[in-house]
Amino acid sequence: MDSRIGNLYPSSKFTFIILIILLSMFVPGFIFQYIIFLFIFLISLFSGTAIKFLSTFMKSIPILIIFIFIFQVFLIVNDDSQQIWAFIHFSQIGLMTSLTMTSKIVAISSSIIWFFQVTRVKDIVYALEQSGVSQKVTFVIASTIQLIPQMLNLSRTIADAQKSRGIETEGNLFVRVKAFIPMIGPLVLSSIQQIEERVLALESRAFSSKAKKTSIYELKKQKIDYIIMIFCVLVPIVYIVWRIKL
């Protein structure tokens, strides 16, 4: 996040992500979408988040891609389907469909993962407030973004506490499910306690006050931010004109 790319204004990075999503959705085929993934990975290298980016991506997206590939290629029956065994078929149409679908998922998901890894939550909140968004809305957005990481950290803390008390938390699926049940109570109660503490902290900072608020933290747009935003607006327009003339 402390790289030159990470220090860009959130709106310029968000506009770039919107451009990636639009191009991924409307550019036909699948080669361009996979090139986008390589491009995002290259940017993550310059951002200093390449290892974290690959780790997050590989933990979630490949499972979805494999599921779609198996379903489209071997299970869905198309006009060119050739039976392999029982209900299992092979389809060239299904293969092309799966490549098209998964390429879009790869391009869009990789760009979103990169955005949240190079953009601080406080930067997003600051940019939203400066654009005139209500503080209540920005609080909900910030809480939603931070919810999963906070729950993961809290669950790890509770799991470590359970281990120190002699509860077995590692092993086969049955052992893990059995260990998960005692964690539910402390996890829910700790979450409720954190919500109460957060409400008290917000009220102590005059969150509900209607007076105009000032911020010690400042984030200014640079010249490169304006260039990126103009570029991201011009590219879709040029692409639409080019497609119409074809």
CA angle 114/16/41 to nearest 5° reads 35
pLDDT at 36: 92
d(CA 132, CA 84): 59
pLDDT for residue 84: 75
Task: Read off the tokens for 8.
Answer: 């860009």
pLDDT at residue 37, as a whole number: 92
Banded pLDDT at 169 (limits 50, 70, 90): low
> What pLDDT is attached to residue 85?
77
Please name every residue paired with 96 in a beta bridge, in sequence order, or none if there are none: none
Helix 10-26 vs helix 223-245: crossing angle, to nearest 10? 20
117 φ/ψ angles, rounded to the nearest 5 degrees:
-85, -25
Q: How many angstroms separate the CA atoms of 9 and 206, rounded?
A: 27
Q: Quickly list H helices, 131-210.
A: 135-164, 173-204
Neighbours of 109 (CB within 10 A): 19
Rounded Cα–Cα distance for residues 88 and 72 (Å): 11
pLDDT for 37-92, tens place per residue?
999 999 988 888 888 888 888 888 888 888 888 887 787 777 767 777 777 777 78
The dihedral of CA 93, 99, 104, 109: what is its sign?
positive
- Look up tokens 């747009």; give the residue: 221
The whole-angstrom distance between residue 26's C-alpha and the CA centroid of its chain comes to 21
Tokens of 222: 């640079």
pLDDT of residue 79: 72
Token readout for 21 is: 């999503």
Question: Which of 237, 14, 246 has the alpha carbon at shortest distance from 123?
Answer: 14
CB atoms within 10 A of CB 30: 19
* DSSP structure class, residue 30: S
Q: List, for residues 190-244, the tens digit of each pLDDT value.
A: 766 666 677 777 667 666 666 676 777 778 888 888 998 999 999 989 988 888 8
Q: Retrieve residue 162's tokens.
A: 């359970």
What pLDDT is attached to residue 35?
Answer: 92
